[in-house]
């Protein structure tokens, strides 16, 4: 699935992966030389819930049936996925095919752990990279090299509760709306009772960067320099600070979002119960809404993000990679192609966790649910997340979340917090580069 990993790699874990890179490279030559058995045995690992496990099991069974000379074993690792992968690579026993969230790709590429798929794909007449959305396919590309084939993805969208809008007499939001339109809508949806728990709020904010980084981009700001080496001059720029101020003022000044204590007191389903009218999230939220006992998914509307001076979104993706240490690289690439191919992609659409990376399959999702079209329209404006570009992003992300939280809690102004956070990020990035 494509949900950004909740348990990000810690500083110590990042250093551990880097230290293991040399060991991975040393073991490559010896494993490449091993002769394949008469029946090729491949192992696939991924993380998944019960419904996803069922679908991937069906995919593997179908592949095995069509390839009698193969035997593919499927293994789900729902907890400590990264740590267990690192251990397997270090022991010289990695899976042949592995699912990687885009934020894990840079470190595995830098560690020499992944096979470049391009030489195998070039000679395969049945493979066409044009079958995929280019923004998604390019996430695991490095020049001409390709390190993963996309499984699925999601941009971020605004979910809105139709009943809350109807009760307030507020028109549903329309594509192409601006920050000003968004703020005006949130104000109209918010009530102001003496007891904050009795209010209806227009929106819900979060300090987590994957849920708010596009606000900076939309205002012409960013977290890091284009080469990803420093935050000063970017995170503390006027454009970034103004974006942080607009976002945090939704709670601090406008009061159209619940504060952290009120949000906690309201419980887990505040959107479903109408306590919050709008939430920004990815496609992964759809199954949660569908599974809610006292909530009808027909109440949910979906619209593209409000736009600032620029229209920008972010795209989160996961893809199938092949271990460079695989004893059967050609066959492993063939398996990865199948798992990323249309047949396997169609089976996954039943779960509805993400958008298929295959253009044709994704178009079929729209036929089933017209709301899917909103996600597809946002692709044009989507950027790859920083986590797919630099291996140290998890550290940057933690510091940025802390900086935004300081503003939300009233400990610092946006200017003060972003200036301090930028310096902290620079110090961490310098450390990873070995600078004093």
Q: Which of 48, 84, 36, 118 is nearest to 336 (CA)?
A: 118
d(CA 325, CA 332): 11
Q: What are phi and psi of 151, to 5 degrees?
A: -95, -60
133 and 379 Cβ atoms separated by less than 8 Å: yes
Nearest 5°: the CA angle 223, 229, 234 is 30
Residue pair 121/278 in contact (Cβ under 8 Å)? The answer is no
What distances in angstroms separate CA 186 from CA 60, 133, 145, 257, 266, one per listed residue? 46, 33, 45, 8, 18
CA distance 36 to 277: 57
How many structural domains does the chain have?
2
Residue 99 lies in a domain: yes
Query: Torsion angle of alpha carbons 80, 83, 84, 87, nearest 10°?
Result: -170
Name which of 351, 287, 348, 355 is nearest 317 in CA terms. Answer: 355
Residue 162 lies in a domain: yes
Residue 6 belongs to a domain: no
Distances (CA, A) of 152 to 1, 132, 137, 269, 308: 7, 10, 10, 26, 27
Q: What is the pLDDT of residue 12?
A: 47
Note the pLDDT of residue 8. 41
pLDDT of residue 436: 52
Considering the domain architecture, whether residues 79 and 41 belong to the same structural domain is answered as: yes
26 to 89, 109, 113, 196: CA distances (angstroms): 11, 15, 11, 60
What is the C-alpha separation between 398 and 163, in angstroms, rounded?
Answer: 36
Residues 63 and 181 in one domain: no
Residue range(s) defining the domain that contains residue 411: 157-314+391-432
Q: Which residues of the chain have pLDDT under 70?
A: 1-38, 435-436
Tell me: do 337 and 400 sit in the same domain. no
Is 159 within 8 Å of 281 (Cβ atoms)?
Answer: yes
Say whether both 360 and 246 belong to one domain.
no
User: Rounded to 5 degrees, what are φ and ψ at 245?
Assistant: -65, -45
* Contact (Cβ atoms closer than 8 angstroms) between residue 385 and residue 103: yes
Instruction: Clarify whether residues 166 and 198 are in a common domain.
Output: yes
Rounded to an integer, what distance in angstroms lies between the CA atom of residue 343 and that of residue 53? 16
Output the CA–CA distances (angstroms, integers) from residue 226 to 147, 234, 256, 389, 432, in the order listed: 22, 9, 34, 10, 18
Q: Which two tokens stand for residue 233?
A: 């001059």
204 and 178 within one domain: yes
274 and 414 part of one domain: yes
Confidence (pLDDT) at 89:
94
Structure tokens at 201: 């709020």
List the CATH number of the domain containing 245: 3.40.190.10
Q: Looking at the structure, do residues 147 and 238 belong to the same domain, yes or no?
A: no
Kindly state whether residues 53 and 94 are assigned to the same domain. Answer: yes
Last residue of a domain, one of 385, 402, 419: 385
Same domain, 207 and 126: no
**Helix pair 414-432, 238-252: axis angle to 10 deg:** 120
- Asked whether residue 378 is assigned to any structural domain, the reply reads yes
In the prediction, which pLDDT does 293 show? Answer: 81
With residue 155 as reference, give the H or E element that holds it. strand 149-155
Residues forming a β-bridge with 114: 323
Q: Are residues 267 and 413 in the same domain?
A: yes
Query: Could you report how far apart the first and last alpha carbons of the chain are, in Å?
Result: 39
Whether residue 5 lies inside any domain: the answer is: no
Q: Which two tokens stand for residue 142?
A: 């490095």
For residue 3, tell me if it sits in a domain: no
Do 224 and 361 share a domain, yes or no? no
What pLDDT does residue 33 have? Answer: 45
What CA–CA distances, in Å, run from 69 to 94, 126, 307, 327, 346?
21, 20, 53, 15, 25
pLDDT in the model for residue 427: 97
Task: Return the pLDDT at 3.
Answer: 54
């Amino acid at each position: 699935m494509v949900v950004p990993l909740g348990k990000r790699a810690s500083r110590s874990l990042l250093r551990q992966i880097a230290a293991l890179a040399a060991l991975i490279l040393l073991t490559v030559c010896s494993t490449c030389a091993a002769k394949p058995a008469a029946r090729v045995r491949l192992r696939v690992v991924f993380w998944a819930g019960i419904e996803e496990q069922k679908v991937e099991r069906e995919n593997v069974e179908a592949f095995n049936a069509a390839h009698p000379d193969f035997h593919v074993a499927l293994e789900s690792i729902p907890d400590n996925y990264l740590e267990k992968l690192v251990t397997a690579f270090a022991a010289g026993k990695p899976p042949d095919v592995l699912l990687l969230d885009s934020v894990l790709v840079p470190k595995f590429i830098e560690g020499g752990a992944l096979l470049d798929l391009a030489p195998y794909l070039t000679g395969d007449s049945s493979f066409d990279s044009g079958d995929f959305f280019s923004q998604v396919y390019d996430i695991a590309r490095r020049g001409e090299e390709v390190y993963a084939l996309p499984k699925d993805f999601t941009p971020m969208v605004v979910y809105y509760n139709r009943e809350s809008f109807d009760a307030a007499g507020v028109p549903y939001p329309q594509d192409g709306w601006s920050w000003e339109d968004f703020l005006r809508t949130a104000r109209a949806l918010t009530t102001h009772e003496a007891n904050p728990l009795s209010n209806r709020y227009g929106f819900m904010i979060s300090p987590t960067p994957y849920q708010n980084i596009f606000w900076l981009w939309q205002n012409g700001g960013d977290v890091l320099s284009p080469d990803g080496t420093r935050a000063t001059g970017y995170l503390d720029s006027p454009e970034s600070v103004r974006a942080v101020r607009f976002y945090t003022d939704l709670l601090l000044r406008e009061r159209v979002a619940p504060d952290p204590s009120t949000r906690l007191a309201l419980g887990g389903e505040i959107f479903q119960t109408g306590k919050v009218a709008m939430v920004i999230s990815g496609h992964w939220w759809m199954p949660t809404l569908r599974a809610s006992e006292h909530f009808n998914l027909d109440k949910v509307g979906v619209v593209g993000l409000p736009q600032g001076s620029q229209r920008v979104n972010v795209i989160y993706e996961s893809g199938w990679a092949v271990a460079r240490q695989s004893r059967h690289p050609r066959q492993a690439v063939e398996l990865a192609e199948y798992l990323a191919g249309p047949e396997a992609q169609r089976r996954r659409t039943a779960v509805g966790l993400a958008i298929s990376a295959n253009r044709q399959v994704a178009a079929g999702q729209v036929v089933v649910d017209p709301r899917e079209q909103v996600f597809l329209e946002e692709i044009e404006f989507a950027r790859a997340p920083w986590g797919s570009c630099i291996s140290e992003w998890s550290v940057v992300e933690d510091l940025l979340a802390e900086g935004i939280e300081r503003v939300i809690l009233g400990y610092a102004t946006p200017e003060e917090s972003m200036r301090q956070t930028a310096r902290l990020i620079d110090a961490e990035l310098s450390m990873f580069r070995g600078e004093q």
